[in-house]
Amino acid sequence: MAARGVHVALGVLCALCVSALAGCGSAGTGGLESAGPTSPAVGPVRLWPDLPPATNPPIDYGESDIQRVPGIRVAGGDVRSVDAVEVVRAEVRARPDARSGADGLYEETARAIGACVSEPASCPVMRPYYRDLTGDGRDELIVGIRMPEQQVAVRVYRAEEGGLTRIMSTVDQVISVELAGRDLIMRVGSAGIPGYEYRTAWAWDERQGSMLPTRDEIVRTGPSGGRSPAGRGPGPGPEVGVGSGSGSEAGTASRPDPGPSGTTPAPTPVPPPEESP
């Protein structure tokens, strides 16, 4: 009887296996169904593989942005103890003729900064902001400087060894500057491409010891096609997070820095969002 029972059990299992195989993929049986043919995977293709490597690599990006601010002492390593206007004035005194690069300012801007004490109403240095951008538990100082041609210089300073070091400096035709976590995000008008804007996220790089642009996108913010009056694009649309791609068409893009000599029009700069000092 025991042997007969084993044969019966084996026969039932075989029948179940055959039934399962026969029903696999058939509709209405609850079994697996084919998703159809799968497109073949396409790997990256390297163009011009015979190009020789560069023999003279460029200097590290951000190297020229790192500057010790002369004559500024930071009490207790707290950047809130320094006057943002005095910080910028110290840089202008050290390099009064700088018209390009990380220290570049328009001549009239440099003069206005020199007169900030006697004429505070016309001082181009905007209110400072504070945020821990380096992750060391201490705030950095964020300064904006209004300039002609609707441009804004954005500079970031870090307290080091009792003094102040500038770890970021850039100039652009700014729409807005925002803080998201430890990133500083700049929205910039895209001259010559109506309906688009650049969005660049700057973040601390420990190896360089400076803030570097970690994501640079060109984002559609309005209707495409055609040129609006005076060569200006439509105003920005709904806010889109940098790198999210949600509700926008975005891609990485390289763009020139207009610098103080730029003449292309752009939207009026808007100060950063209010934040508790």
Condensed to tens digits (0 to 9), the pLDDT of residues 144-170 reads: 999 998 899 999 999 999 999 999 999
Write the pLDDT tens digit of every residue in 244-253: 333 333 443 4
Range of lowest pLDDT (72-76, 202-206, 241-245): 241-245
Distance between CA atoms of 98 and 143, rounded to whole angstroms?
18
Q: What is the pLDDT of residues 201-214, one digit of tens each?
A: 999 999 999 999 99
Give the residue from 195, 269, 261, 260 showing the smallest Cα distance to 232.
Answer: 195
Q: What is the pLDDT of residue 61?
A: 55
pLDDT at 37 (0 to 100) = 84
Least confident of 90-99, 218-227, 248-257: 248-257
121-132, pLDDT tens digit by residue?
Answer: 999 999 999 999
Pairing assessment for the beta strands 174-180 and 140-147 based on DSSP bridges: unpaired
